[in-house]
Amino acid sequence: MTDPSSREDDVVDAIVETLCAAAPSIRAGLPGRRVYEEGTNPSGERQLEADTYADELLLKRLRPLDGVGEYASEERPDVIDIGEGVSVALDPLDGSTNLKPNNVMGTLYSIYDEPLPTGGENLLAAGYILYGPVTTLVAGRDGVVSEYILESGIKRPLREELTLPGDPAIFSFGGRVNRWFDDFEAFARETERTEGMKLRYGGSMIGDVNQILHYGGVFAYPAQTDAPGGKLRQQFEGFPIGYIIECAGGRSSDGEQSLLSGTPEDIHDRVPVYIGNDSLVESLETRLD
Binding interface with ligand P6P (CB under 6 A): 94-95, 97, 174-175, 203-205, 221, 231-232
Which three-class secondary structure state does DSSP give residue 240? Answer: helix
Tell me: is residue 237 an annotated ligand-binding position: yes
Instruction: Check: CB of residue 220 under 8 Å from CB of residue 172.
Output: yes
Tell me: is residue 74 an annotated ligand-binding position: yes
Instruction: Check: CB of residue 252 under 8 Å from CB of residue 259.
Output: yes
Tell me: is residue 254 an annotated ligand-binding position: no
- Shortest Cβ 98–ligand P6P spacing (Å): 8
- 85 or 140: whose CB is closer to ligand P6P? 140
- 75 or 94: whose CB is closer to ligand P6P? 94
Nearest residue to ligand P6P, scored by beta-carbon proximity: 205
| CA distance linking residue 167 with residue 181, whole number of Å | 26
DSSP state of 120: G
- 232 or 271: whose CB is closer to ligand P6P? 232
- Shortest Cβ 288–ligand P6P spacing (Å): 19
| CA distance linking residue 1 with residue 152, whole number of Å | 35
| CA distance linking residue 151 with residue 96, whole number of Å | 22
DSSP states along 140-208: EETTEEEEEEEETTEEEEEESS----SS--EEEE-S-GGGS-HHHHHHHHHHHHHH-PEE---S-HHHH
**What distance lies between CA 15 and its chain's CA centroid?**
16
| CA distance linking residue 31 with residue 269, whole number of Å | 31
| CA distance linking residue 50 with residue 257, whole number of Å | 34
**What distance lies between CA 92 and its chain's CA centroid?**
10
- Shortest Cβ 195–ligand P6P spacing (Å): 22
Tell me: is residue 94 an annotated ligand-binding position: yes
- Shortest Cβ 126–ligand P6P spacing (Å): 15
- 20 or 232: whose CB is closer to ligand P6P? 232
| CA distance linking residue 92 with residue 152, whole number of Å | 19
- Shortest Cβ 157–ligand P6P spacing (Å): 26
- Shortest Cβ 194–ligand P6P spacing (Å): 25
- 174 or 216: whose CB is closer to ligand P6P? 174
- Shortest Cβ 7–ligand P6P spacing (Å): 33
Residue 39, Ramachandran bin (φ over 0: left; ψ between -120 and 50: alpha; else beta): left
- 11 or 284: whose CB is closer to ligand P6P? 284
- 140 or 175: whose CB is closer to ligand P6P? 175
| CA distance linking residue 251 with residue 84, whole number of Å | 33
Tell me: is residue 37 an annotated ligand-binding position: no
Binding-site entries for substrate: 201, 231
Where is the binding site for Mg(2+), in residues?
A: 74, 91, 93-94, 237
Binding residues: 74, 91, 93-94, 201, 231, 237
